[in-house]
Structure 1
Amino acid sequence: MAANFLMQLGLQAVYFVGIIGCATYDLGADALVVSSLVLVLNVMLVVMSLMAGPLVDAVGPRRTLAATLCVMAVAGLAGWLLPLGYGLLYVLAAVQGAAFGVGSTSMDAYPRFVSDDPRYLQRVNSLVYTATSVAVIAGPALGGLVVSALPTKCDFAIMTFASLPAFALVWATVEKIAPSRQRSASDAAGTTAAGTGAADAEPKARPAGGARGFLADLAEGVRITWESEGLRMLFCIGFLGFFAYGAFDSLESLFYRDVLHAGVQWMGWLSGIAGVGGTLGSLAVLRIPSRRLDMTALSAMLLVTGVGSMLYVGTGSIAWACVGQLVSGLGFGAMGPTRTTLAQERCDVAHVGRVTSVMRVGMNGAGVVPLLVAPFVAGALGVQTTLFAASAMVAIVATGFVARTRARRAHLG
């Protein structure tokens, strides 16, 4: 939990205030440039989320996270010390996307490598996502504090100084459940592994190593996800629910500058308010009975994010933007641990990395297409209108999921 907080602290501080803030305020970027930066970040996020799944299943989340944190520390130093320019920002956006993809996938998978108890997974996932939400408060707020007194590029130092203690914490956290890939090797040597819950259900051997084996691992993750009705539904909720949010990545900073008429520090403050909502939402999951933590609950949480986003961008008032960020944060904060817990309960520990990566690719990939069209739609309709339409689309899709999952729950009794 502490390691996740520190990792997310660095990532959250640098993403909005650092990369987008430097482009928008220091270099005077327009919507097309900001969109291209975020597109680079999102493409790397999608690709590395997909690559992270087989990697986690092959070497475990501990080593994967440790390597990610080392890369983050170096990238933070580069952003802090090297001359500011678009070239540097594109490189940092790529590294940022890769770190988000690999780090978040590894952290989502980690609890399943510790226990397979459903109540434990619900509690730990809630706490891990609470740490993320607190980082969403602290990271942008700390970034806003730094850039209010120092040049904007000094914000990148936060990622370096947060990554180092996170590395130490990760390296000290040992995985307790051995996936079937490890037990199969032990069995071949005549050793009987200890019982590890659901992991014993599928002693399927992993594909051969090398590039072909890695591609086979990727395909296996997609197959496992798509053949399970529960996992398939989770994927669809993530993909369709997050599809419209790509518009925010490319236009949100312009909304701050041109509609709210707020300074760069407000990029940190308002993101921090969203983090407050996220913290409350993540903690609220602890109060939900396990039997009620289902697809309908997840769909309702998505609906809350859509309504909150409509409040956030529906006016030119900073006060209403604060309210909207709080409500939207509540929904996002509750969705994270709920989605992760439902996915972990529906797959074997030997597959959890690949399934987690497929889920994240669905959510993150959904935001790439809007990046390509949002600047042109905003040019025709305006930034605020485009963002409000995207928010309404999320609310409409979520309403459909709520209706469908409730009908299915009633049918099943």
Structure 2
Amino acid sequence: MSLVEKLRSLSPMARRLVIMRFCGHVGMLACYFIGILGTLTYSLGGTALSTTFSVGLINLATVIGNFVGGAMLDSLGPRRHFLISVVATCVSAALFQVLADTVEGILICSAVFGLAWGIEDIVARSYAAYITDDADELSCINPMLSAVTNLTVVVGPLVGSAITSVSSTRMVFVFGAVMALAGLVPAAGFHPLRQPAEEEGAEYSDNSLSAGFLAVAAKPTLRMLLAVGFLTYFGYGAFDPLESLFYRDVLHVGVEWMGWLSSAAGIGAIAGSVILMRLPARFTNMRFLLLALFSMGLGCLVYVGTPFVVVAMAGQMLLGFSFGVIGPLQSTLVQMHAPLSALGRVSAVMGFGYSVAGVVPLFMAPWLARVLGVQQTLVLASSLVALFPLVCMVIFRRRIADSVEEERELEDAA
């Protein structure tokens, strides 16, 4: 099936889902890069320590939001879950209007914003499984969701940069709230086509948070997805507290370049998602995911390896391309292997693993930056990102082979 045919084959519910994701997420990206990190680094003269605390609070709150949002999705369904995510986004936007004048206020905003982000992030990870269980269709919907998500990586920071050029960063959060509310329009007609009661995983319908951990523990492939994601994101976690300092102190560019470079990553990610849509379904497997994770490490090395902004932009595009493949692949594999009745909580567990992987680097990165320098620390972290998938392919080669075989059987069954 050609790319155009795949796009045309999206069901009306899938099209609504794509629009919902765009509206709910585009403001998030603008608020994160320009609203929070931009205000903290440039307006308030933030240091590595303050950006570390801010990113750490966002990550911690995102984990909590994932668990809360996943449980809400499994118990309330996607329609009410989406409404709650919109309300949470508007609350964080209102809070920023009041508290954005001090570092302490930004830290409080970071926590509330992270909670809203965690709740909303479940949309892209889980909603597609409420539309279909067909592996080929999931392999089309999830890359499309990834493409539109990465379009928000381009549009969000660009709009945020444009807003700050004529107004204050407070207006960036107003933009985020307005876009979240706009997502309620397509959400009004979004209705799930599948119900958890139809799944063999109905034993997880008690809505307890532990069901997500039990479901992951029961499936070897889900355990593998969690393990390889944890190891890879462990290295990438050093980027969050140091990236804005890399722009300021190594590339020597202004706050607007946070938007331009992030947009370059978004363009690359859109390309990665589009390419993934054109690949046969047989590439939807664990081995191909590990290769994509390795390419992410190579993109990181190009991104931070020189003090030249042009090279950094090329690296961002390469890094974004890898993310455009990795995100939908992870989502599709989780949706293929997890029971629908616990899918929200399984997605939360996956998000928890990836976020926890970034916690240790958050504490280590400022110390390493003082000892080695910002750029040297980022190069070290990039090397780890590239190394971990290769190590996993060696250590877990039997489990990976079994997983690939299982995914082929699921594809044939569909």
TM-score (norm: length of structure 1): 0.89
Q: CA deviation at 1:88?
A: 2.7
Q: For 1:204, what is the secondary structure of its paired residue?
A: helix
Structure 2 residue aligned with 1:292: 283
Please, which of 51, 57, 64 is the counterpart of residue 34 of structure 1? 51
Structure 1 residue aligned with 2:390: 399
Please, which of 374, 378, 382 is the counterpart of residue 387 of structure 1? 378
Q: For 2:380, what is the secondary structure of its paired residue?
A: helix
- Give 1:79's aligned amino acid: F
Q: For 2:209, what is the secondary structure of its paired residue?
A: helix
* In the alignment, structure 1 residue 22 sits paired with structure 2 residue 39: yes
- Is the 8 Å Cα contact of residues 302 and 395 (structure 1) preserved in structure 2? yes
CA distances 1:309-351 after superposition (whole Å, capped 9, x unpaired): 1110111000110010000001111101101101111122112
Q: CA deviation at 1:142?
A: 1.1
Q: CA deviation at 1:202?
A: 3.7
CA distances 1:279-308 after superposition (whole Å, capped 9, x unpaired): 111111112211221111101111111110
- 2:115, 2:109 → 1: CA distance? 10
Structure 2 residue aligned with 1:127: 144
Please, which of 162, 165, 168 is the counterpart of residue 185 of structure 2? 168
- 1:83, 1:350 → 2: CA distance? 40
- Is the 8 Å Cα contact of residues 130 and 194 (structure 2) preserved in structure 1? yes
Q: Which runs of 5+ in 1 are unaligned?
A: 181-195, 208-213
Q: For 2:203, what is the secondary structure of its paired residue?
A: coil
CA distances 1:33-78 after superposition (whole Å, capped 9, x unpaired): 1101111111101122123222211111221121111221232234
CA distances 1:194-239 after superposition (whole Å, capped 9, x unpaired): xx4xx1x2442633xxxxxx6xx22221121022111111111111
**Cα distance, 1:407–1:222 mapped onto 2, change above 3 Å:** closer
* In the alignment, structure 1 residue 111 sits paired with structure 2 residue 128: yes
Please, which of 299, 310, 317 is the counterpart of residue 308 of structure 1? 299
- 2:340, 2:398 → 1: CA distance? 31
- 2:400, 2:102 → 1: CA distance? 54
**Cα distance, 1:37–1:321 mapped onto 2, change above 3 Å:** same
- Is the 8 Å Cα contact of residues 28 and 176 (structure 2) preserved in structure 1? yes
- 1:91, 1:268 → 2: CA distance? 23
Matches within 5 A, 1:161-310: 161-180=178-197, 196=198, 199=199, 201-204=200-203, 206-207=205-206, 217-310=208-301
Structure 2 residue aligned with 1:146: 163
Kindly report the root-mean-square deviation, in angstroms, between the aligned alpha carbons of the 2 structures. 1.8
Q: CA deviation at 1:176?
A: 1.7
- 1:127, 1:90 → 2: CA distance? 34
- 1:34, 1:82 → 2: CA distance? 16
- Is the 8 Å Cα contact of residues 52 and 106 (structure 1) preserved in structure 2? no
- 2:121, 2:55 → 1: CA distance? 18
Matches within 5 A, 1:353-364: 353-364=344-355
- 1:285, 1:340 → 2: CA distance? 13
- Give 1:246's aligned amino acid: G
- 1:203, 1:409 → 2: CA distance? 27
- Give 1:23's aligned amino acid: L
Q: After superposing the two structures, state which structure 1 stretch, 335-344 or 80-89, moved more.
A: 80-89
Q: CA deviation at 1:79?
A: 2.2
Structure 1 residue aligned with 2:337: 346
- Is the 8 Å Cα contact of residues 21 and 123 (structure 2) preserved in structure 1? no
Q: After superposing the two structures, state which structure 1 stretch, 170-179 or 306-315, moved more.
A: 170-179
Q: CA deviation at 1:83?
A: 5.4
- 1:279, 1:136 → 2: CA distance? 9
TM-score (norm: length of structure 2): 0.89
- Give 2:287's aligned amino acid: T
- Is the 8 Å Cα contact of residues 260 and 316 (structure 1) preserved in structure 2? yes
- 2:98, 2:186 → 1: CA distance? 26
- 1:390, 1:157 → 2: CA distance? 35
Q: Which runs of 5+ in 2 are unaligned?
A: 1-17, 406-414
Q: After superposing the two structures, state which structure 1 stretch, 86-95 or 334-343, moved more.
A: 86-95
- Is the 8 Å Cα contact of residues 295 and 405 (structure 1) preserved in structure 2? no
Structure 2 residue aligned with 1:183: none
% of aligned pairs identical? 35
